[in-house]
Structure 1
């Protein structure tokens, strides 16, 4: 690849199943030179249902091929709107994640996308990390490190992504590279939007609690929150990661509650899980920057502010785009893969040594 910063196009479809994000970043794989255009392609309810039916399934299982076709078509439609990308970072759709046993499964064929788009595609970002004994997640921390540098941070900050699952990245921007010991600590905190979305779908036939409006009318069952935090996951030391469905018991915790009280309690559970995670920070942070769909949930943001002892702000407060940060992360990581740089390290995924993941597929024409 040519020297210096190049334009990379990244795409992300999260476990909350709202849609596909795509965004461009000008980067050399180390620093961020510029953020470029971005776009979003919502998933239809039929498409969501097809993907949801394949959750928890592995390659070759029933329903996986149909889910992959939906993901490939949605990504191809969205990514074709862009021009000028030297490389595409394609995350795919996580269907199952079991790093200790069966591995990790992101459906969607990057080689097929390379042919459709006529551009090199980096994909299957997590498998190499898992094969070496890592958790394979979260993978955005190296990008969060670059974002902290770009934003001019000099003291520790934390990034909280609230997708289907929540994950935290603690960043000390005084270090020169993200893989340097002490620069990063990252891990999944617990459930975030996924149980709330599942509750809304099951009880009210709605995709989500828009803005946290339903939760705002309910009462939090603090006893249920406390019981939930007895889950063994919260007693594990990071790095650690989760599958979207690992906390399906969250819905059982609120079974006897009205929809408003159940939504309020699940929202509080997500925030309390983050607060429990923050206890692992090596040093206190000056601010916690929230990205992902959960930052649009005003009730969630209030719960976070109540349960944490640092300022809680959307990443827009640092000049970043919280709707596109995950897509931008895979654009950035694609360049790192192309240039042979690591994408994870012991303090982000628990992998024994810094490792670069990802397959590279180039178009035949």
Structure 2
């Protein structure tokens, strides 16, 4: 076991609903000691600014460009992360000097891996200066620069968690259902394969916001009153993403919600929940073997319709579906924990991505270190 470092991870995902903050003590390898977690919601006005930022970012051709008001948005986003870190430390009676590093994801506003372009806004140096804690950020860029997809990055952490599972049935698959879903396969020989598996919550969130004025379908309640429109579901599932032998990472704009006249509120939500589950299983068909256990993380595990469909589909293959909590983890905290873990790996020069996860030619480290005077 190497030296343990205390790291704070920060995640603002594709759902753009807020900031997750988590603490780990880890050596960046198999030793992981889980700490407290905090989730801070964005106010509605700031969420709208982030959505507008996605449109502005479409004009970016070089990753450091900040057209329009993106520079102001980046600063405001970073200051919200500063506040989240300070609140987290205060609530848990932790001093900044007790933390070795922050892993800062920022907010993805553009992801075009085949154009070798990924942009996560977030000023790592400003975060380090304001918190007094060294910060590792921009962890996707080096992978992209070396021919990888830049995503997913969480699999290295999933592999560490898999090592903690007692009497694990192998192979096991971690499924993170955030805005975009991704899966991590860990085989009997510890082989790691990972890729985005399809639309997660983003289509459902966009649908209910447009048609019911709510940011997400809490618990899948709206979907529970609807019926699956199979013709609409098949239109999504016939997308070349699922049939291609090449796995690739997705941007939230790769799939769009249905038109207003294609479904009612409840049937649309139910159909999109089905698509979320079916996307996972379709994508799992590209793995070396069907997993015997699926561990579901992220906000999608709280949608009853999605989980019901996943359990039914997995049962056809003799597989079980567990929530992260049923497996002994925190499904809300996992991505933020991953960024803490990856920051420690970055400090040690360890790989963050692998040929089987992003398609990069060789295991690749990454991240930019923003130092402080204290550091």
Give the TM-score category using the shorter length: over 0.9
**What is the alpha-carbon distance in structure 2 between the residues aligned to residue 147 and residue 350 of structure 1?**
22
Deviation of the 1:255 alpha carbon: 4.0
**What is the alpha-carbon distance in structure 2 between the residues aligned to residue 173 and residue 49 of structure 1?**
45
CA contact (8 A) 1:25 1:32 kept: no
**What is the alpha-carbon distance in structure 2 between the residues aligned to residue 296 and residue 101 of structure 1?**
35
Matching of residue 99 in structure 1 with residue 99 in structure 2 = no
- SS of the residue corresponding to residue 148 of structure 2 reads coil
TM-score in terms of structure 2 length: 0.91
CA contact (8 A) 1:24 1:35 kept: yes
Deviation of the 1:170 alpha carbon: 0.4
**What is the alpha-carbon distance in structure 2 between the residues aligned to residue 63 and residue 115 of structure 1?**
23
What residue in structure 2 maps to residue 274 of structure 1?
A: 280
**What is the alpha-carbon distance in structure 2 between the residues aligned to residue 193 and residue 285 of structure 1?**
22
For residues 48-67 of structure 1, the aligned pairs below 5 Å read: 48-56=47-55, 57=57, 58=60, 59-67=65-73
What residue in structure 1 maps to residue 181 of structure 2?
A: 166
**What is the alpha-carbon distance in structure 1 between the residues aligned to residue 139 and residue 32 of structure 2?**
23
Deviation of the 1:69 alpha carbon: 2.7
What residue in structure 2 maps to residue 205 of structure 1?
A: 213
Name whichever of 312-321 and 75-84 sits farther off.
75-84
For residues 1-365 of structure 1, the aligned pairs below 5 Å read: 4-56=3-55, 57=57, 58=60, 59-80=65-86, 81-82=88-89, 83=94, 84-101=98-115, 103-152=117-166, 153=168, 155-172=170-187, 174-175=189-190, 183-248=191-256, 250-252=257-259, 255-308=261-314, 309=317, 310-365=319-374
Deviation of the 1:173 alpha carbon: 5.6
Gaps of at least 5 residues in structure 1 are 176-182
**What is the alpha-carbon distance in structure 2 between the residues aligned to residue 167 and residue 221 of structure 1?**
24
Q: 1:313 to 1:87 in 2, by over 3 A?
A: same
**What is the alpha-carbon distance in structure 2 between the residues aligned to residue 284 and residue 273 of structure 1?**
14
**What is the alpha-carbon distance in structure 1 between the residues aligned to residue 35 and residue 307 of structure 2?**
28
**What is the alpha-carbon distance in structure 2 between the residues aligned to residue 134 and residue 257 of structure 1?**
38
**What is the alpha-carbon distance in structure 2 between the residues aligned to residue 233 and residue 174 of structure 1?**
28
**What is the alpha-carbon distance in structure 2 between the residues aligned to residue 343 and residue 154 of structure 1?**
25
**What is the alpha-carbon distance in structure 2 between the residues aligned to residue 67 and residue 285 of structure 1?**
41
Deviation of the 1:32 alpha carbon: 2.8
Deviation of the 1:307 alpha carbon: 2.1
CA contact (8 A) 1:210 1:297 kept: yes
Q: 1:35 to 1:46 in 2, by over 3 A?
A: same
Deviation of the 1:238 alpha carbon: 4.7
CA contact (8 A) 1:290 1:313 kept: yes
Q: 1:123 to 1:255 in 2, by over 3 A?
A: farther
Alpha-carbon displacement from aligned partner over 1:187-223 (angstroms, at most 9, x marks no partner): 1111111111111111111101111000010010112
TM-score in terms of structure 1 length: 0.94
Question: RMSD across aligned C-alpha pairs, in angstroms?
Answer: 1.6
Q: List structure 1 runs of 4+ shifted beyond 4 angstroms.
A: none
Aligned length: 355
**What is the alpha-carbon distance in structure 1 between the residues aligned to residue 250 and residue 280 of structure 2?**
14
Deviation of the 1:284 alpha carbon: 2.5
Deviation of the 1:174 alpha carbon: 3.9
Name whichever of 148-157 and 23-32 sits farther off.
148-157
Deviation of the 1:274 alpha carbon: 0.7
- SS of the residue corresponding to residue 356 of structure 1 reads coil
